[in-house]
Amino acid sequence: MRVPNPSAEVAQWLQAAASIVALTGAGMSAESGIPTFRGGGNGLWSQFDPSALASADAFRADRALVWGWYLWRAALVRHAEPHDGHHALARIAARVPKFTLVTQNVDDLHERAGNEDVIHLHGSLFSPRCFACHRPCGEVTLPDDAITRPTLRLVPPRCRHCGGYIRPGVVWFGERLPVDAWCVAEKAARECGLLLAIGTSGIVHPAATLPLIAKAHAAKVVEINPVATELSGCADVTWRSTAAQALPALAEAVAS
Ligand code: NAD
Ligand code: ZN
């Protein structure tokens, strides 16, 4: 169903549901100035080939290029701020009995807006680990000019446990999701009464199956995205708006 301003109806579902899941994707951070991967014309992939940078093979082939690219992305996030939609989502979370925020984003904008216990299905730009022994190791130290240098080349530091190279703490193409994060997200999707899919293209699996799981268990599914996606067909409401516009309207409707 498509209605011009569904905030009142979605707010009613939100108030009626004992448990709510929000699944966010790159579009959630777009209005904070972090480019998405697809859609909107500024996708990161229009400038860089993901298969050349976001995989273990790419790291083996040219770790200085990959490490440098991730430092640039981390610098973008450090210079960005959560927008009105992030803050509104934190207010919504505080008002409902059980709220599970599942993100595919590797930034920390939800946390900085006040959401706690965010489930990061695809890891984080700020939790590096060892490529060899997989242990968490070290911190992300950004060169002063990282933000201006998307093609920065920098040899990654070494692991203090085994001497291996440090890699970004994100889930690369071809890698499995963190098991604990996935189990919590999948269970929450099964048990929720409402799932909000915000700023995700619905292409990357298994994250994109969460709305389908929720729907199969009789939850309402609401998509917030300016354009149609793979998930639109399963949504009870497709809210053609941006995260920074729709979520404050929803928070207001919930509060009134
Ligand atoms: P995606 O790039 O595939 O899709 C982004 C979606 O957001 C598109 O459907 C687009 O129409 C929508 N969108 C664009 N601007 C929006 C806005 N202002 N409000 C609402 N929606 C908007 O992203 P995805 O579905 O998250 O999947 C791809 C992968 O991208 C994920 O694995 C994620 O880890 C990674 N990623 C993360 C970040 C980040 O952490 N900020 C940035 C880029 C990519
Ligand atoms: Zn190690």
Give residue-wise pLDDT tens across range 63-117: 999 999 999 999 999 999 999 999 999 999 999 999 999 999 999 999 999 999 9
More confident residue, 41 or 163: 163
Q: Which residue, by CA, sits nearest to atom 9 of ligand 1?
A: 201
Give the ligand with the smallest distance to the CA of 39: 1
* pLDDT class of 165 with cuts at 50, 70, 90: very high
231 Cβ inside 6 Å of ligand 1:
no
Give CA 107 to chain center in angstroms: 7
Give residue-wise pLDDT tens across range 20-39: 999 999 999 999 999 887 65
The label of the residue with tokens 């203090």 reads 160
Q: Judging by beta carbons within 10 Å of its beta carbon (0-12, 13-18, 19+), is residue 36 exposed, middle or buried?
A: buried
Ligand 1 nearest atom to the CA of residue 24, by list position: 26
pLDDT above 90 (res 225): yes
104 Cβ inside 6 Å of ligand 1:
yes
Per-residue pLDDT, averaged over 52-62, amounts to 92
Amino acid identity at 194? L
DSSP labels for 45-72? HHHS-HHHHSSHHHHHH-HHHHHHHHHH
Distance (Å, rounded) from C-alpha 221 to C-alpha 10?
10
Distance (Å, rounded) from C-alpha 205 to C-alpha 171?
12
Choice among 87, 122, 134, 205 that is catalytic: 122
Distance (Å, rounded) from C-alpha 197 to C-alpha 5?
16
pLDDT above 60 (res 41): no
More confident residue, 218 or 139: 218
pLDDT above 80 (res 45): no
- 87 catalytic? Reply is no
pLDDT above 60 (res 199): yes
103 Cβ inside 6 Å of ligand 1:
no
Query: Is there a contact between 128 and 169 (Cβ–Cβ < 8 Å)?
Result: yes
Per-residue pLDDT, averaged over 178-198, amounts to 98
Distance 35 CA to ligand 1 centre (A): 8
Distance (Å, rounded) from C-alpha 224 to C-alpha 201?
11
- For residue 249, give the nearest of 84, 128, 41 by alpha carbon: 84
The pLDDT value given to residue 152 = 83
The chain-wide mean pLDDT, for the chain, equals 93
The pTM of this model reads 0.94
- For residue 249, give the nearest of 237, 238, 239 by alpha carbon: 239
pLDDT above 70 (res 198): yes
- For residue 209, give the nearest of 109, 121, 98 by alpha carbon: 121
The pLDDT value given to residue 44 = 62
Distance (Å, rounded) from C-alpha 126 to C-alpha 232?
32
The pLDDT value given to residue 43 = 57
Distance (Å, rounded) from C-alpha 52 to C-alpha 77?
21
226 Cβ inside 6 Å of ligand 1:
yes
Distance (Å, rounded) from C-alpha 153 to C-alpha 55?
17
Give the ligand with the smallest distance to the CA of 170: 1
